[in-house]
Structure 1
């Protein structure tokens, strides 16, 4: 099986919908590779913050994304992300990086520069690609596409609990406002807005547990790709 023909499951949706946890579980069940495309944009954002590059410095951000010293390696808990040869771990998940990543992702030239990096992750036996435009732009030929959503109130609450568990100072009302603004930017950007692909199944995870969402997606994959039950 060539890289171009390896099956891809895309899981798109807004921040906080649970894409990361769902993608990891589904990839593990299928024995497939996993791509956290959000980590790619977060890495650009982190590199920019480390280099004191502001969101308004478009040319500097475009240049940075074209020569991003980013590497993914298998790790004990999934995928380790290395930037400049050093593991970045939880630094990618801080709120300043999240906000900067949303602004960086709205720059068309940055998105174009990062396409090859993401498409290069398509390898046998298959790939679960998690992001905002995986099914609409990066892998439009994916045989199975999911758009995972949840109410902004629920997504803000989830993010609040995650940050509190890490001991980070956080205000729920501010998280809610930031998430609303991030959603607006992602939906309204001129290139690759965060919208469901025309052939995607839309799953609202607001009142669904992780196991239920994973089971729903695995059943969809099994039926679409005619996989035997024991593979899922």
Structure 2
């Protein structure tokens, strides 16, 4: 990562919100427009989930899971088609988006040792500023000092419809099924004891239900430029 002249021209942006709100797409585009580094924390939790599933380690096996998480070298590399995710040198970008991982990631992400290891890694990545990070607890827990915090949300119906459009026809799942899965993930994320999904008190809430991706990106870029101007 190349460092720009003068840290005062760079800030950290935290984008939190529930499953399917479009955080990753928005965060990646905001980072691209500002020339910042995008850090997909959800991909990191998915990488742990995928590796644990493959190793036969369940979320209940907390000691084994902690050991496994600490042994992982997770790399996020920008590519032509978005971000590639590597675990111990292996490209797992496609594998971590499977339905098996999607249905289980909230359970693995609720484990304290997993959040501790990944949270430390995420703070190290953000230490030099100029980072856009998205997740469930970035503004409230991982980067409480982020200069701009956005809580991106949308109705359950809208989020399910977006996810439904993303999923290939080969996967037999109904829109109603997706709605109930997303509502269940919201419940798990909001009720977990460790760093639950919560809107930071100083976050700007953006309801993207009636907005296009580009409109959301433009709104966040504008907010960031206003914040930087105010800081000068």
Q: Which SS does the other structure have where 1:164 is aligned?
A: coil
1:210 deviates by 1.0
Mapping 1:167-186, distance limit 5 Å:
167-186=170-189
| Matched residue, 2:106 | 102
> How far apart, CA to CA, are the structure 2 residues paired with 1:26 and 1:90?
23
| Matched residue, 2:94 | 90
- The worse-fitting range, judged by mean Cα deviation, of 23-32 and 156-165 is 156-165
1:123 deviates by 5.4
| Matched residue, 2:191 | 188
Mapping 1:41-56, distance limit 5 Å:
41-56=45-60
Q: Which SS does the other structure have where 1:191 is aligned?
A: coil
Structure 1: 5+ residue stretches without partners: 228-232
> How far apart, CA to CA, are the structure 1 residues paired with 2:189 and 2:89?
30
- The worse-fitting range, judged by mean Cα deviation, of 82-91 and 33-42 is 82-91
Q: Does 1:210 align with 2:184?
A: no
| Matched residue, 1:39 | 43
1:158 deviates by 1.1
- The worse-fitting range, judged by mean Cα deviation, of 194-203 and 99-108 is 99-108
Q: Does 1:199 align with 2:182?
A: no
> How far apart, CA to CA, are the structure 2 residues paired with 1:116 and 1:178?
29
Tell me the TM-score normalised to structure 2 length.
0.91
Q: Check whether the contact 2:15–2:150 (CA below 8 A) recurs between aligned residues.
A: yes
Number of aligned residue pairs: 225
> How far apart, CA to CA, are the structure 2 residues paired with 1:190 and 1:89?
29
Mapping 1:98-177, distance limit 5 Å:
98-122=102-126, 124=128, 126-164=130-168, 167-177=170-180
Q: Check whether the contact 2:12–2:129 (CA below 8 A) recurs between aligned residues.
A: no
Provide the alpha-carbon RMSD of the alignment: 1.9
Please identify runs of 4+ aligned residues in structure 1 that moved more than 6 A: none
Q: Which SS does the other structure have where 1:109 is aligned?
A: helix
1:206 deviates by 0.9
> How far apart, CA to CA, are the structure 2 residues paired with 1:74 and 1:11?
19
Cα deviations across residues 125-157 of structure 1 (Å, max 9, x unaligned)? 600001111101110000100000011111111
| Matched residue, 1:221 | 224
Q: Check whether the contact 1:164–1:170 (CA below 8 A) recurs between aligned residues.
A: no
